[in-house]
Amino acid sequence: MDASFLHLDTPNVQMHVAFVAVMEPGATPFSFPALSRELAERVSRIPALRRKLDPLPLDVHHPAWIEDEAFDPIHHIRDTALPAGSDLDALGDLVARIDARPIDRTRPLWELWIIEGLEGGRFALFFKIHHALADGVSGARLFSRLFDGPEAAIDEELGMVLERPKKTALFREGLVARLRQPKLIVDVAKKAVRGLRDIVTRRKDPEWEAGGTPLVCPRTPWNATVGQRRDAAFATASFATLREIKSSFDVTVNDVVLALASGTLRRYLDAREVELDGSLLSVCPVSIRTEEHASEVNNLVSAMFTRLFSEVEDPGERLLAIHRGTQAAKWEHQTFGPENLSGLAELTSVTTLGALASLYSKMKLADRHRPFHNLVISNVPGPRETLTFAGHRVRQMHCMGPVMEGAGLNLTVLSAGDVVGFSFHVDAELVPDVHEIPSLFADSLDELLAAARAYRAAKAARKEGDDTVPFALAAFAR
Residues classed as catalytic: 131
CA dist 76 and 124 (Å) reads 16
N-term to C-term CA, the chain? 45
**Which amino acid, one-letter code, is at 280?**
L
Q: Which amino acid is at 242?
A: L
State the number of CA atoms in the 13 A half-sphere of 136 facing the CB.
26
- 192 near 340, Cβ under 8 Å? yes
Q: Residue 97's closest CA among 16, 23, 6?
A: 16
Phi-psi label, residue 193: left if phi above 0, alpha if psi -120 to 50, beta otherwise: alpha
Contacts of 345 (CB under 8 A, 6+ apart): 1, 4, 353
How many whole angstroms separate alpha carbon 56 and alpha carbon 178? 12
Give CA–CA dist 53/133, Å, rounded: 9
d(CA 400, CA 17): 6
Which residue type occupies 79? D
CA distances from 214 to 8, 194, 282, 306, 376 (A): 19, 18, 9, 10, 12
Strand order across the beta sheet in which 301-307 lies: 230-238, 419-427, 409-416, 375-380, 281-287, 301-307
| CA dist 309 → 128, 255, 278, 321 (Å) | 33, 12, 8, 7
| CB-based contacts of 36, cutoff 8 Å, min separation 6 | 77, 79, 114
Nearest to 345 by CA among 71, 118, 39, 7: 7
CA distance 8 to 358: 8
